[in-house]
Amino acid sequence: MELRGVALTYPGPPPVHALRTADLTIGAGEYVTVVGPSGSGKSTFLNIAGLLDKPTAGTYLLDGIDTGALKEGPRTALRGSRIGFVFQSFHLLPLRSALDNVLLAMVYNNTVPRAERRKRATTVLERVGLGHRVDSLPTRLSGGERQRVAIARALVSRPSLLLCDEPTGNLDTATAASILKLLDELHADGMTIVVITHDPAVAARGARTVRIRDGVLSEDFGRTAVAGAG
Ligand code: ADP
């Protein structure tokens, strides 16, 4: 993903510069964390990166596609096929099994031929360690298992970017560690991962960290240099 002079100002009055002119390139296969205090602009960044909001200035390229030039239909299709979302509160359908939650993502995104969907959903649930819980309702799963279902759902369309918003925010420390380990594994498999967090321990997991403060995005070169040296 590439942001060129991207900014978002809420008109107000008074206008709020939620994201000030930002340039950022995240290459395929990178694991980048985005940190900042509450109100700094993290959600604004996530919404732009996830094609949920349009910037008020600048250009956002995803896989080389100028997203600003897209009409709503192609934009939604691009979001569904290229971006997997993982949220703090999982956002699963409570009355549908783990398998159905993953299947429905493919129905909604229409990214996978119908005949392949069940196999694909089963495989991805196995990948996140839930092969034995495919028929369970989310209400019968632990928090960590729910987040695994959500990660499976995010991965099933084989997105080019996994966007995670405080993915461990609702989990206890041990469970959070297991989810962070899963993200490490997915990164090792080549997935591009962007994790938005206010937690320094989570931020430290990325090979590269971007900071946002008062809408100003800046690279944490100290962290990048350490990661590069290591
Ligand atoms: P974070 O996710 O880091 O908590 P946000 O991106 O939600 O920060 O917010 C950045 C700034 O933009 C804050 O000052 C917030 O109050 C403001 N903001 C967010 N959404 C809106 C909106 N719809 N209208 C006006 N201001 C907003």
Mean pLDDT by groups of 10 residues along the chain of 230 residues = 97 94 96 95 96 97 96 95 96 96 91 93 96 96 96 95 96 94 95 95 94 93 53
- Domain assignment present for residue 70? The answer is yes
List the domain range (segments joined by +) for residue 173: 2-92+160-219
101 C-alpha to ligand 1 centroid (Å): 30
Q: For 63-93, what is each residue's pLDDT tens digit?
A: 999 999 999 999 999 999 999 999 999 999 9
Number of domains in the chain: 1
The answer to whether residues 214 and 40 touch, using CB atoms and an 8 Å cutoff, is yes
Buried b (16+ CB within 10 A) or exposed e, 26-49: beeebbbbbbbeeebbbbbbbbbb
Ligand 1 atom nearest the C-alpha of 47 is: 6
pTM for this predicted structure: 0.93
Q: Residues with Cβ within 6 A of ligand 1?
A: 10, 16, 18, 36, 38-44
Domain containing residue 188: CATH number: 3.40.50.300
At residue 110, the pLDDT reads 85
- Domain assignment present for residue 131? The answer is no
- Domain assignment present for residue 188? The answer is yes
- Domain assignment present for residue 114? The answer is no
- The 3-state DSSP class for residue 93 equals coil
- DSSP, residue by residue, 123-139: HHHHHTT-TT-TT--GG
**Tell me, what amino acid is at 36?**
G
The answer to whether residues 44 and 53 touch, using CB atoms and an 8 Å cutoff, is yes
At residue 67, the pLDDT reads 97
- Domain assignment present for residue 15? The answer is yes
